[in-house]
Chains A and B, each alone.
Chain A
Amino acid sequence: AQSVTQLGSHVSVSEGALVLLRCNYSSSVPPYLFWYVQYPNQGLQLLLKYTSAATLVKGINGFEAEFKKSETSFHLTKPSAHMSDAAEYFCAVNVRGSQGNLIFGKGTKLSVKP
């Protein structure tokens, strides 16, 4: 069975600081991994996904995530936070070839201080 754990329900950084949102997964088979962002009053938007190509995945808005099998992690990073990055971020996993049955983490709310 697959599962996802996001460490920290709320992360606060200063504008210009590094953003690090943590995600660890559990999967009995090689997973597909995703990060989604949800801005206030908007739907989920795909930031990036890992599908077994390069382990370092670049997404939109300057975000990237690195798949580390030895650590079962898929942490999301951005070198310099911007005020517009304030949102809720969800890590998700699904079984390869299983469209739609994403298993989500509980989400991490990112706040950016001026």
Chain B
Amino acid sequence: SAVISQKPSRDICQRGTSLTIQCQVDSQVTMMFWYRQQPGQSLTLIATANQGSEATYESGFVIDKFPISRPNLTFSTLTVSNMSPEDSSIYLCSVVSGQGAREVKQFFGPGTRLTVL
């Protein structure tokens, strides 16, 4: 299994500012993912972050708004830039571990609850 921690756990930010969310995993993983859960909505994948390469963004998400770093196999950051109230969400870090379709498991961090005023 993988244990994931996120910092901060929650924050209240002003419009126009940026917030960087940190994700730390207790083991080395190849693939890390960032999800967003807007109020009353399901989780939506923002991007996939592999160490040593640029993050791959899903439709509707761009690097300028959500820059991601992945400096090593246990750590990643997601920045929410130039925030607006529409960015108020829970942001979750996730990793996949295990080999083979039946063994692979996906783990999620506790989330960062962001409120933008």
> Would you call A101 and B45 a contact (CB within 8 A)?
yes
Q: Which of A11-40 contact B (CB under 8 A)?
A: 32, 34, 36
* Interface size bracket, A side: 20 to 34
Which residues of chain B come closer than 8 Å to A114, judged between CB atoms? Answer: none
> Would you call A106 and B42 a contact (CB within 8 A)?
yes
Which residues of chain A come closer than 8 Å to B102, judged between CB atoms? Answer: 51, 53
> Would you call B108 and A36 a contact (CB within 8 A)?
yes
Which residues of chain B come closer than 8 Å to A107, judged between CB atoms? Answer: 42
> Would you call A100 and B45 a contact (CB within 8 A)?
yes
Which residues of chain A come closer than 8 Å to B106, judged between CB atoms? Answer: 34, 46, 99-100, 102
Whole-angstrom distance between the alpha carbons of A90 and B109 in the complex? Answer: 15
> Would you call B96 and A99 a contact (CB within 8 A)?
yes
Chief secondary structure at chain B's binding surface: strand
Whole-angstrom distance between the alpha carbons of A84 and B58 in the complex? Answer: 36
Which residues of chain A come closer than 8 Å to B45, judged between CB atoms? Answer: 100-102
Chain B count of residues within 8 A CB distance of the other chain: 24
The chain A residue sitting closest to B93, CB to CB, is: A43
The chain B residue sitting closest to A6, CB to CB, is: B42
Which residues of chain A come closer than 8 Å to B53, judged between CB atoms? Answer: none
A67 is an interface residue with CB less than 8 A from chain B:
no
Pick the residue among B40, B41, B58, B108 that contacts A44 (CB under 8 A): B108
Q: How far is the CB of B86 from chain A (nearest CB, A)?
A: 18
B33 is an interface residue with CB less than 8 A from chain A:
yes
> Would you call B108 and A106 a contact (CB within 8 A)?
no
The chain A residue sitting closest to B44, CB to CB, is: A104
Which residues of chain A come closer than 8 Å to B92, judged between CB atoms? Answer: 43-44
Q: Which of A76-97 contact B (CB under 8 A)?
A: 90, 92, 96-97
> Would you call A104 and B43 a contact (CB within 8 A)?
yes
> Would you call A100 and B43 a contact (CB within 8 A)?
no
Report which B residues bind A (CB closer than 8 A): 4, 31, 33, 40-45, 48, 58, 92, 94, 96, 101-102, 104-111
A-B pairs with lowest CB-CB distance, top 10: A44-B108, A104-B42, A104-B43, A43-B110, A106-B42, A43-B108, A100-B33, A99-B96, A51-B102, A43-B109
A-B contact pairs, 5 of them (CB 8 A): A36-B108, A46-B105, A46-B107, A92-B43, A99-B96
